[in-house]
Structure 1
Amino acid sequence: MLTEALKEEIQTAYSRLLEEKGYRARHCQKSMIAEIARTLGNVPEDNSVCVVEAGTGTGKTIAYAMASIPIAKRLKKKIVIATATVALQEQIVYQDLPDIRLHSGLEFSFALAKGRRRYLCLSRLDLALQDSGQVNQTFSFFENADGDSDQVDSAIFDSMLTALGKGEWDGERDSWPEEINHATWARVSTDHAQCTHRQCSHYENCYFYRARENIHRVDCIVTNQDLVLSDLMMGGGAVLPDPEDTIYIFDEGHHLPEKAGNHFSHFLALYSTKTWLQQIPTSLKLASAEVPAIGSGLINDVDTMVQQASQRLDDAAQVLQLLKVDAEEQDDGWRYRFPRGRVGNDITEVSKQLANSFERLDDLVDRVLPLIETTLDDVSAAQRESVEYWLSLVGSISTRLSAAAELWHNFSVAEHSPPYARWVGFSTQSQTEGMEIQLSCHPVSVADELFERLWSRCAGAVLTSATLSVARDFSSFQSKSGIPPEMVFTSLASPFRYQEQAVLAVPKMRTDPGQADQHTQEIAELIPGLLDKEIGALVLFTSWRQMLRVFDDIDEAFRERILMQGELSKMEILSRHRDAVDRGEASCIFGLASFSEGVDLPGDYCRHVVIAKIPFSVPDDPVDATLSEWIEEKGGNSFYEVMLPNAALRVVQAAGRLLRTETDEGTVTILDRRVVSKSYGKVILNSLPPFAREIS
């Protein structure tokens, strides 16, 4: 219950923060604090999840911190703040929370929690520096079947060791002074499966475990949404505190359902799988030289099962090859999507056999792990490192076998409810034998999973973002997220004076996106006139093809001011754009979806946002197509229930790049007449802030 004492503590802390920072109270921020406090005041009763849509300028971090910290401390619960982007995560940890603690009078501790892969593994660094022949090659093989991980930069590893020895580096990837490519970093980091935990000789000095010990001592943990989801997938409490002892705050919360879908999806490359599968007996024979207890009998059993699984993979390949006749051509090969996610009996039968083979093989490999662990207690220090390597490798093999078994289990069921989008890809770009066959499955809805693993278990939760509703209707997000409809859903007014600060323009056009080539040509003709007098502008496209065509067709003089996605990194484009504007030179960014959110260009850096067309989902996206079929099958309308709400939210996100502060001004132009010529256009226009409108 939200007591008077708690209310007073929150109000006092907020007033003190405003006074010391010289801020003025914002009505929307005060409303957000009150709504969150009322909701979390219900903990540990029901109805303790709060969904708050609040736009740029609200001061969301201050609002949820002010409301949640005193309540969590009184309830003896932990706070986990989870963001979707690294940029916001770092802003909260290095700017917002230190500021709040310094000026509010609230006493609390906080720490940043990162996944295991963000930390150096000392054991793996030793291995990389030794470059120990067959052992090292085997590790590389099981991590990445195409061999990319073999490209080891020994000079970087030497530099890492030197920096650690001098105390100049803390073992985190993000604090290494230079860019490290993924393949190189993978050689000196590890994951849950490969980590040998307390068995590791470096355990006491492990950077990950040191950080993990720290996060369990603090009041507030800042992390990313993927780490929260990974923890929940492992049952909760594996890395982060137990959900029952946690109040979660999901900032950038509109990303959560999509990220959850990725965590529950599966992928398998058939021939690559067969190749690494056949390496398992050889690896165990090598391991048995260090761990005699593995024994030839167990290795022979594994070998027999590997041969059986390999034969069944060949059988699956024959069945799946028949689908290529009906597959659609893609940029990187062909793809066959199973309508409504339903697979035929021939595929379910071979999938059942493969699920059984991979499960039995995983059981055999799991029997090796305790044998290696026991050996660790009896070997000399010199031998210990080598045995640890084998423990890590066998753990990695087991995880990969388990993941393969899960995919085959999914395909062994003719149809799921809710369905999984399931498809088969055929690629000629692989270096494996013949054409590679890739199987994928992805849930079309994670609502039930999120409810069971998160909302029904957590002590409380706050989910906030600027884009959660469509014209203040939360039904689309509620159905995707699995948050019970009786929970609190609220949309707060913005502090911006939209009608005074910005204009929404929809100019006259001869064409619409249904005439793809002509529409692209007209965009190229219009942009120079629209943006000629703007020093900073952002043009957002929905496809590479249209963006490249417009760039090629646009007036040559205007083209000189364009910075286009794909030519440079996102960070470099933004840096060059700001530098140009600071010099008084006009600059225009051409970008795709990744530039429509998380891009902060206040003032002159962005005076005009151009949206080339309504960003509807790609019609052949396997997940969206299967979801649409499922909705239609239930008697619904997939366009109005899924495609239109998603497109409206993307338009709102794109338009949100314009006003970043209360003094910004500018224009949002939509070069798609369907927002006025089609009946559904009203939904999109009504979802946007109340800009002044100039609609021809």
Structure 2
Amino acid sequence: MPSADYRTLVRANYRQLSQSIQGFKPRREQNFLVAEIGKVLLGQHDPARRILVAEAGTGIGKSLAYLQACIPWARLNHKKLVISTATLALQEQLVNKDLPLFQPHCQPAFTFTLAKGRARYCCRQRLQSLVQGNSQMGMFDASEALTPAQQEQLAGLWRALEAGDWAGDRDSWPEPIIDALWAQLQTERHSCQPQLGHSHCPFHLARAELDKVDVIVVNHALLLADLAMGGGIILPEPESCVYVLDEAHHIAHIAREQGSARLALRAARRNLEQFNKQLPNLATALKDDGHSAVNRTQQALQQLIPSLTELHKQLQAALRSGDLAPDDQGCLRFAAGELPELLSHTLTTLKDEHKQLAQGLGRLQAQLAEALKQQPGNSVVSGAMAGVSLQQLHADEALSLCELMLRAVGPKHTPPARWLEQSKNDITLCATPLAVGHLLEQWCWSRAAAVIMVSATFTALNDFSYFRRAVGLRPDDGSQYLRLNSPFDYRSSRLIIPSLPCEPQEAGFDELLIKEIPRWLKDEQASLVLFSSYRQMNAVAAALRGKGHSLLVQGEAGRQALLELHRMKCDGGQPSVLFGTGSFAEGLDLPGHYLTNLIITKLPFAVPTSPVEEAMAEWISMSGGNPFMQLTVPEASRKLIQACGRLLRTETDRGRIVLLDRRLLTRRYGPALLNALPPFTRET
């Protein structure tokens, strides 16, 4: 594709857009972002590595920028544009606002849709079986009796699906569907295959639509789930895609979650025992054709079930004797990822036995699929397929857990976090990869036609290194980096750091907040107070209410209900004060008179309390690093920028930020954190 054709289209689309939208204001930073994305897509920096990491401050209009730059290039090069986001709010903004806004003004023309995971769609055959009185598992009867209300709801779902009035996805049904009922309806990877004649399956119909549209909007979890399976399973193959990862600072964390695995020993054993009891029924249903596969599965279970039982007993004994000592929450992390001898030996056996089980289940599934082709609509066979499918999912996760637990780690490689959780009724083995950069390189960076990553907060302490390490990019790999400041007038707003008598870690800081916060709320109409913990927030809220203050506190009502009440009070001229924790520091949009006074009680330093965080800090220390400076401070910098970003949401917004943590002035990391913030006018 000649670059001149692409540039001509981008310019023409921009003129059309600017002339058609009333009150359109050109944004220099937005145009710069469009131009830089275009250079990367055209391969002007590196034709073998079309990757851009662009930090675009609030108010630049990054979504409209990447739509302008990416859609024409993808269409001219016969690629799909996949836009992935971290939050539902941004998905809704793209699908309901940004894409419809740009669509009439774009050449080449494009179509778009929102993609959802399998679990958001019902399985047509499962729904039909339930309506006809069969349980989800067919002969593997594991479901409780349906209530009359649930039976009525199922009948309504089936009628609407049959009539074409419902697409089969949970989100578009006007009434809530309880989780326990939906679990019996949802599509699963092993049991719902198009070759089985499921041409009218809601998921496969939706999946077929993805092949017809030009732009697909997804969330990070769905994108990474597809990539982890090799790509092209739910979404198009990476080689045919241009990826835009919006809110991409979440990517490493979500990739880590996708790579995690768990195995609850007692629950797994009971599930397999129940499944084993039902296998003779399956052999009868399959007649002579299925005996070999059933026998192989039974043999695997006869080895696996005792192994799970024995491991549970050994771990219980070690926990009782004190050889293994979990913390107060029942969590025991294996330092440096090194397993106790009894675990490493038994997990090797469990790994082999789960492989044998997976092979037997695969043969069973193939036999059931063949039987269903010969007997379309046979609810007994389709129910059995659902039961075998569920066992395949369990076996896959157990195998992943064993592999993660046993994976040998070289001297320069980061070991996974490995731990066990002891509860009243079970012992669960858990593992999570810490370093996911090589996975992202393998899944996406090295395969995609192009990757554009955007966020308002990539840099930590004014540098991309923290993010680059997390996602597996190297300074010399050809990836490009861009940082664009927000066009907002930050200097017209104030950042106040009072000189307080004590710091957050000292005893008496709660009492200091109870004294200081009313001082900074006085005469203010719209305030947001951000806390580092629910405990502290609730303690301060109780004390201030005792002094007559009216507060809207996170957790006492739904997020949207609280925000709506806050807006109503502001619109009515009443002072309104919101109390919130970390989740209110990201994604909260209160423009104009809805927020003019932001109080941050404490720097957002995360204490490594989870096994994953502890393992990460431990590995940095073992490698000769400083976890606080390499992990805690950069992450606090990013979170502080996000928190301060709640104040100014439009170009005309004004206000002040009060930061009640004097460590910004007294500690050696303070200047770096301050200098990474937007250029507010500072006061002390």
Query: What TM-score comes out, normalization by structure 1 length?
Result: 0.92
Match of 1:31 in 2: 32
Match of 2:357 in 1: 361
Match of 2:179 in 1: 182
- Rounded to whole Å, the distance in 2 between the matches of 1:297 and 1:205 is 32
1:408 matched to 2:402? The reply is: yes
- Rounded to whole Å, the distance in 1 between the matches of 2:142 and 2:578 is 40
Matches within 5 A, 1:307-322: 307-321=302-316, 322=318
Match of 1:254 in 2: 249
**Residue 135 of structure 2 contacts residue 141 of structure 2 at CA under 8 Å; is this kept in 1?**
no
Match of 1:18 in 2: 18
Pick aligned residue for 1:581 from 560, 567, 570: 570
Change (3 A) 1:306 1:391: same
The letter for the 1-side match of 2:158 is L
The letter for the 2-side match of 1:78 is K
Change (3 A) 1:647 1:293: farther
1:424 matched to 2:420? The reply is: yes
Matches within 5 A, 1:191-590: 191-200=188-197, 203-293=198-288, 295=290, 298-321=293-316, 322-323=318-319, 325=322, 327-330=325-328, 333-379=329-375, 381=377, 384-413=378-407, 415=409, 417-428=413-424, 435-486=425-476, 487-500=479-492, 502-515=493-506, 517-560=507-550, 562-590=551-579
Shift of 1:471: 3.4
Greater alpha carbon shift after TM alignment, 585-594 vs 255-264: 585-594
The letter for the 2-side match of 1:467 is T
- Rounded to whole Å, the distance in 2 between the matches of 1:664 and 1:106 is 37
Shift of 1:110: 1.5
The letter for the 2-side match of 1:15 is R
Structure 1, residues 645-681: CA drift from partner, whole Å, max 9, x if none? 1111111111111111111111222222111111111
Greater alpha carbon shift after TM alignment, 219-228 vs 147-156: 147-156
Shift of 1:28: 0.8
**Residue 72 of structure 2 contacts residue 107 of structure 2 at CA under 8 Å; is this kept in 1?**
no
- Rounded to whole Å, the distance in 2 between the matches of 1:536 and 1:130 is 56
1:623 matched to 2:615? The reply is: no
**Residue 9 of structure 1 contacts residue 70 of structure 1 at CA under 8 Å; is this kept in 2?**
yes
**Residue 447 of structure 1 contacts residue 480 of structure 1 at CA under 8 Å; is this kept in 2?**
yes
- Rounded to whole Å, the distance in 2 between the matches of 1:601 and 1:227 is 29
Structure 1, residues 243-276: CA drift from partner, whole Å, max 9, x if none? 1111100011111111100000111111111110
Shift of 1:492: 0.2
Structure 1, residues 202-248: CA drift from partner, whole Å, max 9, x if none? x2322222221121112211111111111111111112111111110
Shift of 1:543: 1.8
- Rounded to whole Å, the distance in 1 between the matches of 2:590 and 2:426 is 43
**Residue 244 of structure 1 contacts residue 458 of structure 1 at CA under 8 Å; is this kept in 2?**
yes
Q: Percent identity at matched positions?
A: 35
Shift of 1:296: 5.3
Specify the SS of the correspondent of 2:244. Answer: strand
Shift of 1:690: 0.8
CA-based RMSD of the aligned residues comes to 2.4
Structure 1, residues 7-31: CA drift from partner, whole Å, max 9, x if none? 2221221122122213121111011
Shift of 1:36: 0.4
Specify the SS of the correspondent of 1:278. Answer: helix
Matches within 5 A, 1:158-173: 158-164=155-161, 167-173=164-170
**Residue 84 of structure 2 contacts residue 218 of structure 2 at CA under 8 Å; is this kept in 1?**
yes
The letter for the 1-side match of 2:475 is P
Structure 1, residues 590-642: CA drift from partner, whole Å, max 9, x if none? 22222211211111222222222122222322112111121222222221111
Match of 2:587 in 1: 598
**Residue 140 of structure 1 contacts residue 187 of structure 1 at CA under 8 Å; is this kept in 2?**
no
- Rounded to whole Å, the distance in 2 between the matches of 1:379 and 1:209 is 21
Match of 2:42 in 1: 41
Shift of 1:512: 1.3
**Residue 601 of structure 2 contacts residue 660 of structure 2 at CA under 8 Å; is this kept in 1?**
yes
1:608 matched to 2:597? The reply is: yes
Specify the SS of the correspondent of 1:302. Answer: helix
**How many residue pairs were aligned?**
675
The letter for the 2-side match of 1:609 is L
Shift of 1:106: 4.8
- Rounded to whole Å, the distance in 1 between the matches of 2:674 and 2:500 is 18
Match of 1:144 in 2: none
1:633 matched to 2:622? The reply is: yes
**Residue 39 of structure 1 contacts residue 48 of structure 1 at CA under 8 Å; is this kept in 2?**
yes
The letter for the 1-side match of 2:214 is D
Match of 1:119 in 2: 121
**Residue 136 of structure 2 contacts residue 185 of structure 2 at CA under 8 Å; is this kept in 1?**
no
- Rounded to whole Å, the distance in 2 between the matches of 1:288 and 1:367 is 13
Specify the SS of the correspondent of 1:617. Answer: coil
- Rounded to whole Å, the distance in 2 between the matches of 1:379 and 1:578 is 59
Change (3 A) 1:496 1:123: same
Change (3 A) 1:573 1:473: same
- Rounded to whole Å, the distance in 1 between the matches of 2:668 and 2:128 is 64
The letter for the 2-side match of 1:491 is R
Change (3 A) 1:159 1:577: farther
Specify the SS of the correspondent of 2:460. Answer: coil
Structure 1, residues 459-489: CA drift from partner, whole Å, max 9, x if none? 1110000000023300000000112323111
1:682 matched to 2:674? The reply is: no
Specify the SS of the correspondent of 1:95. Answer: helix
The letter for the 1-side match of 2:673 is I
Shift of 1:82: 0.6
Shift of 1:532: 3.1
Query: What TM-score comes out, normalization by structure 2 length?
Result: 0.93
Shift of 1:335: 0.8
- Rounded to whole Å, the distance in 2 between the matches of 1:584 and 1:283 is 67
Specify the SS of the correspondent of 1:618. Answer: coil
Change (3 A) 1:648 1:196: same
**Residue 13 of structure 1 contacts residue 106 of structure 1 at CA under 8 Å; is this kept in 2?**
no
Greater alpha carbon shift after TM alignment, 635-644 vs 50-59: 635-644
- Rounded to whole Å, the distance in 1 between the matches of 2:319 and 2:598 is 44
Shift of 1:510: 2.2
- Rounded to whole Å, the distance in 2 between the matches of 1:117 and 1:337 is 32
Structure 1, residues 112-147: CA drift from partner, whole Å, max 9, x if none? 111111222222222332342594594646xxxxx8
- Rounded to whole Å, the distance in 2 between the matches of 1:601 and 1:532 is 20
- Rounded to whole Å, the distance in 1 between the matches of 2:567 and 2:15 is 35
- Rounded to whole Å, the distance in 2 between the matches of 1:319 and 1:151 is 45
Greater alpha carbon shift after TM alignment, 465-474 vs 283-292: 283-292
**Residue 196 of structure 1 contacts residue 388 of structure 1 at CA under 8 Å; is this kept in 2?**
no
- Rounded to whole Å, the distance in 1 between the matches of 2:564 and 2:302 is 55
The letter for the 2-side match of 1:507 is P
Change (3 A) 1:579 1:106: farther
Q: Any unmatched runs of 5+ in structure 2?
A: none
**Residue 472 of structure 1 contacts residue 491 of structure 1 at CA under 8 Å; is this kept in 2?**
no
Change (3 A) 1:409 1:105: closer
- Rounded to whole Å, the distance in 2 between the matches of 1:205 and 1:347 is 46
- Rounded to whole Å, the distance in 2 between the matches of 1:643 and 1:2 is 47
Specify the SS of the correspondent of 2:374. Answer: coil
Change (3 A) 1:106 1:668: farther
